[in-house]
Chain A
Amino acid sequence: GNSVTQMEGPVTLSEEAFLTINCTYTATGYPSLFWYVQYPGEGLQLLLKATKADDKGSNKGFEATYRKETTSFHLEKGSVQVSDSAVYFCALTNDMRFGAGTRLTVKP
């Protein structure tokens, strides 16, 4: 069946550091891929998405490219801020599958 495997956390970075959170998937067909972010005590918010191979989703300085050949959708940001501290989820929404989440803490 479909599944998402996400890099385990927690991840702790200093402000302005480069961020990568790995996500790989197993799926039949051609799913859309999503990254969601969850701030403490809140629900999830869509961060970015990609609907087909080689698409790049981007938002708020975050980027992820849909790589069909490696079945990956890694999240990157060039310079993280303290306000980026949150839990990040990779998802295959056409099958309602979410990764386990990666907690990011950014220190000033």
Chain B
Amino acid sequence: DGGITQSPKYLFRKEGQNVTLSCEQNLNHDAMYWYRQDPGQGLRLIYYSQIVNDFQKGDIAEGYSVSREKKESFPLTVTSAQKNPTAFYLCASSRGTGANSYEQYFGPGTRLTVT
């Protein structure tokens, strides 16, 4: 089945530790995205990548880092510099960006809790 997988579904970390969230897609999509969702809130864009080895900051990139070494994979690292890391993180992909009709396909999300 084609789709996006995120692992793990739940993740717990101590304050001060970096943590990496996994995102893999087998849809052969060029573009991938990371969003953060807080309770009762909409989605805020952290980073996106239009092509392998390239990525751009979104609206709330501070305290996060990404890499895009393979088309299928777009891991997100939440660093200790992120002041409020506890949130629900969603990864998505699409055929491209900026074009008019490319809908995004979402993974099931990772709920990160930092104490």
Contacts and interface: CB of A to CB of B under 8 A. Distances in A.
Interface of A: 6, 30-32, 34, 36, 41-46, 49, 51-52, 89, 93-94, 96, 98-101, 103
A42 B100 contact: no
Listed from nearest, the 7 A-B pairs whose CB atoms lie closest are A43-B106, A100-B42, A98-B43, A32-B100, A44-B106, A51-B101, A46-B103
Interface string B95-115: 001111111111111000000
25 contacts: A30-B100, A32-B102, A36-B104, A42-B108, A42-B109, A43-B4, A43-B106, A43-B108, A44-B90, A45-B106, A46-B103, A46-B105, A49-B101, A49-B103, A89-B43, A93-B94, A93-B102, A94-B97, A96-B45, A96-B58, A96-B97, A98-B35, A98-B43, A99-B42, A100-B42
A44 B99 CA distance: 20
Contacts of A41: 109
A49 B100 CA distance: 11
B64 interface: no
Contacts of B74: none
Interface string B18-58: 00000000000000010100001111010010000000001
B106 A96 contact: no
A103 B107 CA distance: 20
Contacts of A52: 100
Nearest to A102: B42
Nearest to A101: B42
Given A42-B108, A93-B104, 13 more contacts: A6-B42, A32-B102, A41-B109, A43-B6, A44-B106, A46-B104, A49-B101, A93-B94, A96-B45, A96-B48, A98-B35, A101-B42, A103-B40
A89 B90 CA distance: 14
B33 to A, nearest CB: 7
A52 B100 CA distance: 9
